[in-house]
Structure 1
């Protein structure tokens, strides 16, 4: 009995264990099947994703080839390509992808926005305004995209220099350090490092680097390529402070950190102000529509000359505010590049001999103080515009502004006359809208007034008695005498207002004043360019200091070789330095004195003074023995200038960014509403006195 019970227990336990084992094995098998199915699904998903990505890239490449063949679209695509070519250089495939991706994104956003705005308001004036705004937003989107990529390139350069420093410690060779650093560098910066590596290993490294300098997206990569070639050619030296090459990398890293901080802080302080400055463009029509529906008396303002002038002023304020915001957010103070020439519209107009002669009648004559002052200003601002072309630009702007301003004045007079003739007679309502019957009655009164006005040939000298007699002949039975008096007075007022709509002397004087402002605007821009150009000069002089600090430690270095290296790095000072090198063999001191006289920038002149000392009197290293302290001082000075500039830009940005919104609210709604309220109150007061 015990044995049977034991056997049964063993059987039951075995069956239970078997069941549990079967369940576990079934669960494990189902889990493996689920995992394999999930893995298969993921592979299919990734495969479809890659297939979609490949198809999308093929579509972008085909779109690029197609868009280049379309006239207007091709110029737009080439413009975007030019902005992105410095960042995505030497990678044609990815460059085309980025160009078409940005192009399609911008065109898609603008197309959808234009369609929605057209559905909201289909008037021609509003569509033209929105088209102008689309052009502005297009520029804004491109700038945002390019600036974000430029900032990412700077961040990648910081990691690159750190990696190059580490590799240089390992191998002690510049070329090997560059080659190995490309494996871990970011995509954008690795393209430039590979190009620098190829240039250093070329048959003629100097010529290849010159080509790279022209395509370099920023001055930091240009300086990095230059000092790498310098160390490869002359060799490195270890001083008390350490390796010359590593000191150069440290200086570039500090400069990049300063630039990144400047961009980040400026982006944070001015973030969104561009859109705030443009936003009032889309609110002018809704505000006008709401004011007309709520306050019928506002129709008289919006349809009058004052209304048109207020609207034009608001649009002008919006455009000026946006342009100033773009200038405040600009990172590169100037886009000047030495040696670049392009045929301009001023040059084309200068080929018209009669127009050129007439323009130069207003310009200072040669060998006069005014002529010398203007030539010096053109040279200081580093503009490629000639003296004759500059005055052609000024005079052409004067003519165009005068024509446009006179056209606006004549349009305002014509529009005011049309409103006097055809607008329905306004009622005495302050709030709410007129009913359909009231609108019909107001239109009938307006048509009747126009009929009488045409009978008197729209003459503002028509008497009250003449108009009253004509009303008496055309009046219908049931009209009261008070209605007759009111109609006669209204027609007399309309005729007087119609007769006053002509070009007045002060309007002509105002147009001339505006045109003279446009005439002076290019001159003001030259003064502005000369001022902001000093910052670029300081950047370039600091690069010269970096180069000279490395060259002065080289054995048997000469002043002429230093000038040759300065010429490789120069942008603003390139042409004067090249002229100095040409004249150097005819007399070193004379050539350096001419260079000093030609460039009147104190920091650069100090470099020339030290080069003069190093020509014959003392060695180069001794002439530049205080260079480290000067570089440290200039760095701290520019750091303080950046902080002041950013604070100034932030304060101006807040004022300029919100000015269009304030102008819209007060000039287009609050002040007109208050003025119309006072006018209506005075009318009601007169009516109350007559009771």
Structure 2
């Protein structure tokens, strides 16, 4: 009951703390009202009360944010939420802080309350630990859903914003004026971005201002819109038979956003609820175990044995793995790649420790070898900022962590198995139902007697039956009744079997091999992750090439535009291809042909290579307009191709999602209930055969 009392105290303190914080917020709000923030209450008292309450909550959130930033545990949680919300609210610091604290209080309060209530109902350390893990997972799911709704709302506002820009551009004929007017008549989130884009376009140095905005833009569509607006503002619009260049660029972006919204909504619909289904076994493991142990007494031997605990650990790992795979399937970062976000977390500090640098050097391939070239290429293709040495340090650290964690788990299981063998009651003949109180008391007495005899024999696994019988007789004779020879002999055989099983709990060679395999999986996990990221970035690379083509459709219409100027515009806009484009610009002065040929070798994507070929032709023989004369039809082809790719990927993800989402439930039923029942049936069958042979 000590755990139960502690949990009740923690829940009570948490509820009181939230109540005090809420009261403090109301007090702060009332003080602000007293200082003159109340509105004129001539007929709008209801709205004034709501505004007053909103201001009080806003002030409470801002002051809470300052308090949380001073406390390390709360600061870590708040910073984690802030990082996820930053792409949407990055340009509004106050709104970002308010949204961060709103979600932190909501999720934190629900987390503590639900876990506290469930833990009070079932005060068990394993159950509480599983609840903490499940709660952390659910919080991450809620945060992902909240961010996804914010991003979807921003995309929907962008459709209205682009429609308003088209209407205003028809009236004014000026991109900057149209953006400012449209931003005032649309949603608050997109209005902030419209204001920032308008300020950047009218800045004294618009190129530098746009570079700063590109770093904070929440998605690629706003970056493309800002770049197109800058081109039209500098070079002017060109009206051809197909219409205005500026409006055609906005039309292509509108089609892209509509395609993205359809993908998001459909994927969310098909994968909705699978996270909850994958987490349900966490809450049903204990009820299933309690039911099985109450209905089948021999199930105690399985659930408390090493095999039962290994299955329980494996079930939790399956739940965690399925959740992570579902997160990858539903990841909304598929088209939101950002270069340069990777940071060096801890590898450099580990290398400073004595001896680790020399040890890590053994695992770093030589610079002139093919393995070093492949690893360097993989890091470059994924825009990973770690050098090869630090990346190998990460792999070595994960190998050691996996090895030590597995060995610790194996030794813990051996220790728990030995403890259970000491307290294991003798096998009974009860198959269904539960033991009576008298039978349970007798089994407990026999288990204590076996433990005393085993300790008296110093846990000797090679003890003979006669030696065990003599020790058992001396212990059993201290009781109220004198044991018979048959009882002594049965107890000796039972205790000898326990001694052999107790001494058999040591590290086996196959367990050491399993630990090495777990360490090897940890060693190769970063490499597999980079390979997966490189395959997933193929879609991002194609998106960026499509945006390059959108900008070139405008640039090719401008008079006296050169290939070098096109490369400068592409480099300022690029994310994934920024490094090879900047390198090409540096080498362009020494020879356009050599620089563009090197650009083709740097990037392996077919669409980008084709784009570089056209730039190479335009720099030598033909004009830019002639080199990109088939660009409109090519863009239409790529748009339809991406639409079909979206449909196929969504269908594949939906199939995998259903399979992965229900895998933990299947594992719970078969591994935690069906397999133990089969094992118990064989055990009971063997017991029956022994009893039949004695007849």
Q: Is TM-score (shorter-chain normalized) higher than 0.5?
A: yes
What is the rounded CA distance, in whole Å, between the counterparts of 1:412 and 1:343 in structure 2?
36
Aligned counterpart for 2:562 among listed residues 537, 549, 558: 558
Residue 110 of structure 1 and its aligned partner are, at CA, apart by 0.7
> TM-score normalised to the size of structure 1?
0.91
Residue 460 of structure 1 and its aligned partner are, at CA, apart by 1.4
What is the rounded CA distance, in whole Å, between the counterparts of 1:179 and 1:517 in structure 2?
54
Residue 501 of structure 1 and its aligned partner are, at CA, apart by 0.9
Does the Cα contact within 8 Å between 1:89 and 1:192 map onto a contact in 2?
Answer: no
What is the rounded CA distance, in whole Å, between the counterparts of 1:235 and 1:204 in structure 2?
18
Distance 1:100 1:329, change over 3 A: same
Residue 135 of structure 1 and its aligned partner are, at CA, apart by 2.1
What is the rounded CA distance, in whole Å, between the counterparts of 1:478 and 1:670 in structure 2?
43
What is the rounded CA distance, in whole Å, between the counterparts of 1:42 and 1:310 in structure 2?
67
1:535 equivalent in alignment to 2:539: yes
Q: Secondary structure at the match of 1:618?
A: coil
Q: Secondary structure at the match of 2:646?
A: helix
2:399 aligned residue: 398
1:118-159 CA deviation, whole Å, 9 max, x = no partner?
A: 212222233223222222222111111000010011011111
Q: Secondary structure at the match of 1:583?
A: helix
Q: Secondary structure at the match of 1:468?
A: helix
What is the rounded CA distance, in whole Å, between the counterparts of 2:281 and 2:162 in structure 1?
46
Q: Could you say what the CA RMSD is over the residues aligned between the two structures, in angstroms? A: 1.7
Residue 339 of structure 1 and its aligned partner are, at CA, apart by 4.1
2:551 aligned residue: 547
Aligned counterpart for 1:606 among listed residues 594, 602, 610: 610
Q: Secondary structure at the match of 2:589?
A: helix
1:118 aligned residue: 119
What is the rounded CA distance, in whole Å, between the counterparts of 1:334 and 1:423 in structure 2?
57
Distance 1:474 1:191, change over 3 A: closer
Distance 1:662 1:339, change over 3 A: closer
Does the Cα contact within 8 Å between 2:223 and 2:573 map onto a contact in 1?
Answer: yes
1:631-666 CA deviation, whole Å, 9 max, x = no partner?
A: 111111111111111011000000000001110111
Q: Secondary structure at the match of 2:88?
A: coil
Higher mean Cα deviation, 539-548 or 492-501?
A: 492-501
Higher mean Cα deviation, 309-318 or 577-586?
A: 577-586
Name structure 2 gaps, 5 residues minimum: 1-40
Does the Cα contact within 8 Å between 1:163 and 1:181 map onto a contact in 2?
Answer: yes
1:30 aligned residue: none
Q: Secondary structure at the match of 2:197?
A: helix
What is the rounded CA distance, in whole Å, between the counterparts of 2:342 and 2:501 in structure 1?
55
What is the rounded CA distance, in whole Å, between the counterparts of 2:552 and 2:437 in structure 1?
85
Structure 2 counterparts to residues 365-384 of structure 1, below 5 A = 365-384=366-385
Residue 378 of structure 1 and its aligned partner are, at CA, apart by 1.8
What is the rounded CA distance, in whole Å, between the counterparts of 2:535 and 2:400 in structure 1?
28
Residue 161 of structure 1 and its aligned partner are, at CA, apart by 0.8
1:686 equivalent in alignment to 2:685: no
What is the rounded CA distance, in whole Å, between the counterparts of 2:172 and 2:127 in structure 1?
66
Distance 1:394 1:335, change over 3 A: farther
1:488 equivalent in alignment to 2:489: no
What is the rounded CA distance, in whole Å, between the counterparts of 1:422 and 1:49 in structure 2?
64
What is the rounded CA distance, in whole Å, between the counterparts of 1:89 and 1:580 in structure 2?
32
Distance 1:486 1:580, change over 3 A: same
2:71 aligned residue: 70
2:426 aligned residue: 425
1:34 aligned residue: none
Does the Cα contact within 8 Å between 2:238 and 2:557 map onto a contact in 1?
Answer: yes
1:21 aligned residue: none
1:28 aligned residue: none
Distance 1:306 1:612, change over 3 A: same
1:242 equivalent in alignment to 2:218: no
What is the rounded CA distance, in whole Å, between the counterparts of 1:488 and 1:217 in structure 2?
74
1:264 equivalent in alignment to 2:262: no
Does the Cα contact within 8 Å between 1:543 and 1:569 map onto a contact in 2?
Answer: no
1:32 aligned residue: none
What is the rounded CA distance, in whole Å, between the counterparts of 1:353 and 1:366 in structure 2?
24
Aligned counterpart for 1:591 among listed residues 572, 592, 595: 595
What is the rounded CA distance, in whole Å, between the counterparts of 1:481 and 1:664 in structure 2?
46
1:530-566 CA deviation, whole Å, 9 max, x = no partner?
A: 1111111001000000000110000000001100110
Residue 470 of structure 1 and its aligned partner are, at CA, apart by 2.6
What is the rounded CA distance, in whole Å, between the counterparts of 1:41 and 1:242 in structure 2?
53
1:219 equivalent in alignment to 2:220: yes
What is the rounded CA distance, in whole Å, between the counterparts of 1:589 and 1:93 in structure 2?
50
1:676 aligned residue: 680
Residue 409 of structure 1 and its aligned partner are, at CA, apart by 0.7
1:36-90 CA deviation, whole Å, 9 max, x = no partner?
A: xxxx998444443333222222222221222222222123222322222221233
Distance 1:399 1:334, change over 3 A: farther
Does the Cα contact within 8 Å between 1:551 and 1:562 map onto a contact in 2?
Answer: yes
Distance 1:295 1:396, change over 3 A: same
Does the Cα contact within 8 Å between 2:457 and 2:471 map onto a contact in 1?
Answer: no
1:646 equivalent in alignment to 2:650: yes
What is the rounded CA distance, in whole Å, between the counterparts of 2:131 and 2:43 in structure 1?
46
Does the Cα contact within 8 Å between 2:347 and 2:390 map onto a contact in 1?
Answer: yes
What is the rounded CA distance, in whole Å, between the counterparts of 1:318 and 1:179 in structure 2?
50
What is the rounded CA distance, in whole Å, between the counterparts of 1:492 and 1:41 in structure 2?
92
Distance 1:660 1:339, change over 3 A: closer
What is the rounded CA distance, in whole Å, between the counterparts of 2:521 and 2:100 in structure 1?
39
What is the rounded CA distance, in whole Å, between the counterparts of 1:245 and 1:230 in structure 2?
9
Structure 2 counterparts to residues 168-247 of structure 1, below 5 A = 168-247=169-248
Higher mean Cα deviation, 444-453 or 307-316?
A: 444-453
Does the Cα contact within 8 Å between 2:91 and 2:192 map onto a contact in 1?
Answer: yes
Does the Cα contact within 8 Å between 2:219 and 2:336 map onto a contact in 1?
Answer: no
Q: Secondary structure at the match of 1:556?
A: coil
1:520 equivalent in alignment to 2:521: no
What is the rounded CA distance, in whole Å, between the counterparts of 2:264 and 2:281 in structure 1?
27
Residue 264 of structure 1 and its aligned partner are, at CA, apart by 0.4
What is the rounded CA distance, in whole Å, between the counterparts of 1:603 and 1:390 in structure 2?
30
Does the Cα contact within 8 Å between 1:338 and 1:575 map onto a contact in 2?
Answer: no
2:104 aligned residue: 103
1:268-322 CA deviation, whole Å, 9 max, x = no partner?
A: 0000101111111111111111111111111000010110110011011011100
1:499-555 CA deviation, whole Å, 9 max, x = no partner?
A: 211111111111111211211111111211111111110010000000001100000
Residue 392 of structure 1 and its aligned partner are, at CA, apart by 0.8
> Which has more radius of gyration?
1
> TM-score normalised to the size of structure 2?
0.91
What is the rounded CA distance, in whole Å, between the counterparts of 1:54 and 1:385 in structure 2?
45
Does the Cα contact within 8 Å between 2:342 and 2:384 map onto a contact in 1?
Answer: no
1:656 equivalent in alignment to 2:660: yes
Structure 2 counterparts to residues 112-511 of structure 1, below 5 A = 112-333=113-334, 336-340=337-341, 342-352=343-353, 354-476=355-477, 477-511=481-515
Distance 1:341 1:416, change over 3 A: closer
Q: Secondary structure at the match of 2:355?
A: helix
Distance 1:335 1:388, change over 3 A: farther
What is the rounded CA distance, in whole Å, between the counterparts of 1:54 and 1:519 in structure 2?
52
Residue 621 of structure 1 and its aligned partner are, at CA, apart by 0.6
Higher mean Cα deviation, 621-630 or 114-123?
A: 114-123
Pairs aligned (count): 652
Higher mean Cα deviation, 469-478 or 541-550?
A: 469-478
What is the rounded CA distance, in whole Å, between the counterparts of 2:599 and 2:471 in structure 1?
87
